[in-house]
């Protein structure tokens, strides 16, 4: 028991010692940061931004305005610092002094010699890739000077990589030129954006024209890389042009290289399904209003025979087209394969059918797989009305069966004397209550139907047809005419 208490006391002491150490370190960091702000108020960008001037440079000095958090007034990019002097002008005529710092930040800045004439202070021993702190009375201003020549961009060649990746164009670029780094007043490393540009041609889907169209692609990168991964791949034949950088461009020395002609490295597609009228090929969901809907309220399918058109719009790299049809939603087994870009197919069998499109490039290394289309075909049905009122009021003026998924259909209509007065060969057809163009009288007529469903079901049906509420004329019954 005594031993356990001793262990607990030791653990408590160690915990208190650890916490005291943490508090000490944090307080040290806070004191150091506070002291840094007192010594280097240029950490926050001044309200009235100051600047440097340069002489002895053969090319224009380029300026970058960094974020306020860097503590820098400006970043100057000189092609070369050799033989160049920097000057600062005090608007108040104060005595001016200079310090420089490197990757450790302004807390490790060193004094540098300068000369002052009137309110202008000049620094002759200028170093590139250094930060400079200028003290003007009780104010301090911080700048960074980049010696571009030590990072100069030179482009040699560009070519597509042998390592292919579907959905990405991988471009290899050879050349020299280090990323241009600079350090904030508190020693944080940052990179100047050189704007290395890669331009090429690709394809993009256009909803208005319902097709893939060529587009010009331009991608900008911060610095030179040996390899660029372009997530908008070239879907068509193109060349890749690499140019840079914005500093050389400003000096009219822009570097540029162009790749050889590159075949499409990836593929893309858009697919659509249209339900057609089985006889006329129009974009109607059903060929007649007297069809009974499928078991599903929405989606493709309905009554068989059900004709659908499947269309695929593809980018230039697609060399192989395939539509896959199956009753298996997982596509582990495939019933039919159609190697066409567009497909017209008539569904006859009751149940669910699944269809998808696959487009691939020449060697099959990249492929597009569409969403799955589900087509539901209902089992055959046949419903026969026993009355209608052909009185011209637009309601129930025609006798028609209601049906779904019928493959054959024959309907014979007889008058009271047993004479055939109408013959229908399609369930889409109906009888308007006329014989030889003349309306018949109200009364009872008879039908006989023989039909076959696409699911193989046989229908043999017969019954009465009652014509009621006939209005107008002195039309005689078909029985009298016969």
Strand runs (DSSP E) across 211-286, as ranges?
211-221, 227-230, 241-244, 255-258, 269-276
Q: Give burial (CB, 10 Å; 0-12/13-18/19+) of 97.
A: middle
Neighbouring C-beta atoms of residue 355, cutoff 10 Å? 24
CATH no. for residue 191?
Answer: 2.60.40
Q: Is 263 within the bounds of a domain?
A: no
My answer on whether 249 and 182 are in the same domain is yes
My answer on whether 387 and 370 are in the same domain is no
Neighbouring C-beta atoms of residue 309, cutoff 10 Å? 15
Tens of pLDDT, residues 383-418 = 999 999 998 888 899 999 999 999 999 999 999 999
Query: What is the rounded radius of gyration, in angstroms, for the C-alpha atoms of the chain?
Result: 42
Q: Is the pLDDT of residue 277 over 80?
A: no
Q: Is 144 within the bounds of a domain?
A: no
In whole angstroms, how far apart are CA 99 and each of 139, 144, 347?
Answer: 13, 12, 84
Q: Which of 258, 282, 304 is the last residue of a domain?
A: 258
Q: Are strands 387-388 and 458-467 parallel, antiparallel or unpaired?
A: parallel
Q: Is 146 within the bounds of a domain?
A: no
Tens of pLDDT, residues 214-261 = 999 999 999 999 999 999 999 999 999 999 999 999 999 999 999 999
Looking at the chain, how many residues does it have? 482
Q: Is 264 within the bounds of a domain?
A: no
Tens of pLDDT, residues 162-201 = 998 999 999 999 999 999 999 999 999 999 999 999 999 9
- Record the tokens describing residue 397, joined without a space: 């003026």
My answer on whether 231 and 274 are in the same domain is no
Strand partners, 451: 409, 459
Q: Are strands 130-136 and 96-101 parallel, antiparallel or unpaired?
A: antiparallel
Tens of pLDDT, residues 441-461 = 999 999 999 999 988 899 999
Tens of pLDDT, residues 130-154 = 999 999 999 999 999 999 999 999 9
**Residue 18 is part of which domain span?**
2-35
* Number of folded domains that form the chain: 5
Tens of pLDDT, residues 303-358 = 888 999 999 999 999 999 999 999 999 999 999 999 999 999 999 999 999 999 99
Spatial CB neighbours of 295, under 8 Å, sequence gap ≥ 6: 376, 378
My answer on whether 168 and 72 are in the same domain is no
pLDDT band at 5 (very low <50, low <70, confident <90, very high): very low
**What is the distance between the alpha carbons of residues 421 and 91, in angstroms, rounded to a whole number?**
112
* Average per-residue pLDDT for the chain: 87
Q: Which of 83, 116, 139 is the last residue of a domain?
A: 139
**What is the distance between the alpha carbons of residues 414 and 72, in angstroms, rounded to a whole number?**
101
Q: Is 147 within the bounds of a domain?
A: no
My answer on whether 453 and 368 are in the same domain is no
My answer on whether 373 and 394 are in the same domain is no
Q: Which of 377, 408, 435 is the last residue of a domain?
A: 377
My answer on whether 106 and 70 are in the same domain is yes
């Amino acid at each position: 028991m005594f031993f356990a208490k001793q262990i607990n006391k030791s653990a408590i002491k160690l915990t208190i010692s650890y916490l005291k150490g943490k508090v000490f370190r944090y307080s040290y960091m806070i004191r150091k940061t506070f002291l840094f702000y007192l010594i280097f108020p240029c950490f926050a960008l001044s309200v009235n931004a100051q600047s440097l001037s340069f002489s002895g440079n053969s090319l224009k000095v380029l300026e970058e305005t960094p974020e306020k958090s860097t503590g820098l007034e400006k970043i100057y990019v000189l092609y070369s610092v050799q033989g160049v002097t920097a000057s600062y002008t005090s608007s108040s005529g104060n005595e001016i002094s200079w310090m420089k710092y490197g990757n450790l930040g302004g807390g490790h800045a060193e004094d540098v010699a300068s000369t002052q004439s009137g309110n202008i202070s000049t620094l002759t021993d200028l170093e590139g890739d250094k930060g400079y702190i200028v003290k003007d009375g009780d104010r301090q201003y911080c700048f960074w000077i980049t010696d571009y020549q030590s990072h100069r961009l030179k482009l040699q060649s560009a070519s597509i990589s042998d390592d292919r990746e579907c959905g990405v164009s991988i471009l290899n670029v050879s050349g020299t030129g280090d990323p241009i780094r600079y350090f904030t007043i508190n020693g944080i490393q940052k990179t100047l954006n050189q704007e290395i540009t890669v331009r090429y041609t690709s394809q993009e889907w256009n909803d208005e024209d319902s097709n893939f169209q060529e587009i010009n692609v331009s991608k900008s990168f911060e610095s030179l890389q040996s390899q660029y991964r372009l997530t908008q791949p070239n879907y068509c034949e193109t060349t890749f042009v690499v140019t840079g950088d914005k500093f050389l461009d400003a000096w009219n020395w822009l570097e540029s290289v162009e790749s050889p002609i590159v075949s499409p490295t990836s593929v893309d597609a858009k697919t659509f399904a249209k339900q057609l009228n089985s006889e006329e090929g129009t974009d109607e969901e059903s060929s007649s209003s007297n069809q009974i809907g499928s078991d599903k309220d929405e989606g493709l399918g309905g009554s068989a025979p059900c004709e659908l058109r499947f269309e695929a719009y593809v980018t230039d790299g697609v060399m192989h087209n395939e539509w896959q049809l199956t009753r298996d939603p997982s596509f582990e087994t495939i019933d039919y394969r159609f190697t066409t870009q567009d497909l017209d197919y008539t569904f006859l069998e009751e149940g669910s059918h699944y269809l998808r499109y696959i487009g691939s490039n020449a060697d099959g290394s990249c492929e597009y797989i569409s969403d799955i289309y589900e087509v539901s075909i209902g089992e055959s049905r046949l419903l026969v009305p026993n009355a209608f009122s052909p009185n011209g009021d637009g309601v129930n003026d025609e006798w028609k069966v209601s049906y779904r998924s019928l493959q054959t259909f024959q309907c014979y209509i007889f008058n009271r004397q047993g004479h055939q007065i109408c013959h229908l060969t399609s369930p889409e057809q109906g009888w308007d209550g006329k014989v030889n163009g003349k309306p018949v009288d109200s009364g009872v007529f008879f039908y006989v139907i023989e039909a076959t469903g696409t699911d193989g079901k046989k229908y043999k049906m017969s019954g009465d047809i009652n014509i009621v509420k006939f209005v107008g004329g002195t039309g005689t019954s078909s029985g009298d005419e016969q």
